[in-house]
Structure 1
């Protein structure tokens, strides 16, 4: 057996932006009251707040690395899912490996204590699992541990305390059964939307860490399916595809950035989340992406103003899968994947390395037929002003931000909405 045993790290989530009602979670009522003060900050202000600043850096760095790998493809991921999975792994890391993981996630251990970082992730997990009656979010972690392998009690206790992780004994020598066990768990937690997270698992695997996020919400002002029509979407200068284009005329917080040549439209969900859609002018995508930083998003937040918009947005469903190990290594996070890894906080001796890190994501965006009529009838506010038509009929960027935790939970680039 190889002296460097394998640790597999996997992060997954399912994001469904549409429209169902969910029962209220009574134990979370007070917590949501306590976080109401975050409303005074803009939905994107997590990039401007001191405690969220470093994490925001990681979000945009990972996006840019993903785009470098697949410049002309859809990009969609959850920065908070990836960060949570690696922060949980860091509970077993020591020395340079620990420092490199946290620095890669944007945290400086000279400015913030390790315990504070873990406490912040614990709070985030708690808040993500406290949906109100208008939005459903759930976030969780699990460790699948090789039969007969005994991690340090302190590591297990800390992971349980800060990350609310579940533990499952797993026979990795029976790869098929191990795959079935892990995939079954993820499929259940993502309500059947991610049925196949892992493939072949090496028999030397001793731990698989899993993080999942499930997000289900509906628009505050749903689109009326009656207005959805097939239209052209310009993938590039040579490629046009047909999409179902939703349309709604109402007031949206929006802004046209003349310097970067792009439209910004912020669409609220009912509940504690909002989506920001960024539409570059033709030929300006690279210009916008080069400036896609926390400082830019912070500036945009301050410039958004309510105005009447005749909005066209494609109905789409996309998915993405990432080799996080490859992307992290290019971002300078290397030790944890190599023979230099010190994960002695897991076993007491530095004999482990991360052999695999996978992230899978899926997003589904469409109208809400059941509430559209009532919502459509309310669009009366500023009809004296001429509306501006904004049509998302070419590649665009998007962010979904949770107001309760002031964090970017999803980020993406839609190049071709017809590719699943």
Structure 2
């Protein structure tokens, strides 16, 4: 009988608009680029199932499976590495290179000064033996904890795990786990929580209800935030989109990608990749703008074990899974991968926050950037361009 491993990835983003080491560091850019293309591939697969709002954390998902890859062997490990788009980063004789890159990336991100916390914990069934090498590696590279739990008491273990996730995500992700199979052997919990304040906060007194055009036949009223200021902006005439950067205090920013009027957002789906994203960031230039952005909240859940096989990660969910690096117990496979992500965007921020820009020409009549139709957004670390969260908003009135 196959024994089950359950993944739960919980991500909360309260956006309160409001010698060897050196060599490896040079490849962090490669890691973030590969992660970004993985994110875009995953987004396209999720979007193929529906036309609703989307929000997830590619960093949360890739980190969880990078941890799992350290316990996987042979074809199972190869599928994970290739599915995460990390195959080109592997080097013969350096099996710890990719984990080391994740470690350095995490260190770079958490030094930014924002409230950004990522955690990894393995809840292990009583008397389940985890291989010492695996235990040491995940502690070294991912700072992962291992805790024993009685999965046979499904009600109690569910409460313990949900309480843990709730604490690690600032009370934003609740009831991430609905049911626990009493035969579960191990549960890997990966959480990420970001609370950011806008560098240029919006004034709530300026927020007014306005139209948001979901499509040609569906118009909704949403609270639209407003601010006139100097923003980083770019226009991509080839893809027919406009790009706006909304920075948070520190090194993290939101990039909004807005299709031009009359351009169907679905025509942009197949074109979004790391190359275009990095091109947009590079082309940003400071411009005085009247910006209008809708307030919105999203609470999204995904059964990744049903999505990831479409990206080539399949055997880890099947009876042929090889997780012998994780435990000597035979018959291990991953039964479920649950990913839950929450975001809230509003006007709040520290009013004392300010930024000084030089070389700016102010115009008496500033241009407009009105986000009143479906758009994409990316929350990323500006120093290394690591993509933390991404999503699309089709209808800001829907969770």
Category of TM-score, reference length = shorter chain = over 0.9
Taking a change above 3 Å as real, the CA distance of residues 377 and 231 of structure 1, as seen in their structure-2 partners, is farther
Pick the aligned partner of 1:67 from 47, 56, 62: 47
Correspondence for 1:30? none
Correspondence for 1:246? 225
Instruction: Report the CA distance between 1:402 and its aligned residue.
Output: 1.0
Q: Is the 8 A contact 2:119 2:190 kept in 1?
A: yes
- Runs of 4+ in structure 1 over 4 Å off: 374-381
TM-score of the two chains, using structure 1 as the length reference: 0.88
Correspondence for 1:41? none
Q: Is the 8 A contact 2:31 2:101 kept in 1?
A: no
Pick the aligned partner of 1:308 from 281, 285, 288: 288
Instruction: Report the CA distance between 1:333 and its aligned residue.
Output: 0.8
Taking a change above 3 Å as real, the CA distance of residues 54 and 376 of structure 1, as seen in their structure-2 partners, is closer
Taking a change above 3 Å as real, the CA distance of residues 297 and 104 of structure 1, as seen in their structure-2 partners, is same
Give per-residue Cα distances to partners, 1:76-118, cap 9 Å, x unaligned. Answer: 0000000000111111100110111011111116743430100
Taking a change above 3 Å as real, the CA distance of residues 378 and 329 of structure 1, as seen in their structure-2 partners, is closer
Does 2:272 align with 1:274?
Answer: no
Distance in 2 (CA, whole Å) between partners of 1:376 and 1:293 is 30
Pick the aligned partner of 1:161 from 140, 150, 173: 140
Does 2:189 align with 1:203?
Answer: no
Q: Matches of residues 383-402 of structure 1 in structure 2 within 5 Å?
A: 383-384=362-363, 386-402=365-381
Pick the aligned partner of 1:298 from 269, 275, 278: 278
Distance in 2 (CA, whole Å) between partners of 1:98 and 1:377 is 48
Q: Matches of residues 135-174 of structure 1 in structure 2 within 5 Å?
A: 135-174=114-153
Distance in 2 (CA, whole Å) between partners of 1:236 and 1:172 is 47
Does 2:329 align with 1:324?
Answer: no
Distance in 2 (CA, whole Å) between partners of 1:114 and 1:107 is 12
Q: Is the 8 A contact 2:90 2:98 kept in 1?
A: no
Q: Which runs of 5+ in 2 are unaligned?
A: none
Pick the aligned partner of 1:117 from 98, 105, 121: 98
Q: Is the 8 A contact 2:211 2:220 kept in 1?
A: yes
Q: What count of residue pairs does the alignment treat as equivalent?
A: 392
Distance in 2 (CA, whole Å) between partners of 1:295 and 1:124 is 20
Give per-residue Cα distances to partners, 1:274-316, cap 9 Å, x unaligned. Answer: 1110111233212211211112112222322211111100011
TM-score of the two chains, using structure 2 as the length reference: 0.92
Q: Is the 8 A contact 1:253 1:305 kept in 2?
A: yes
Instruction: Report the CA distance between 1:162 and its aligned residue.
Output: 1.2
Correspondence for 2:214? 235
Q: Is the 8 A contact 2:198 2:350 kept in 1?
A: no
Distance in 2 (CA, whole Å) between partners of 1:222 and 1:300 is 23
Q: Which runs of 5+ in 1 are unaligned?
A: 21-34, 39-45
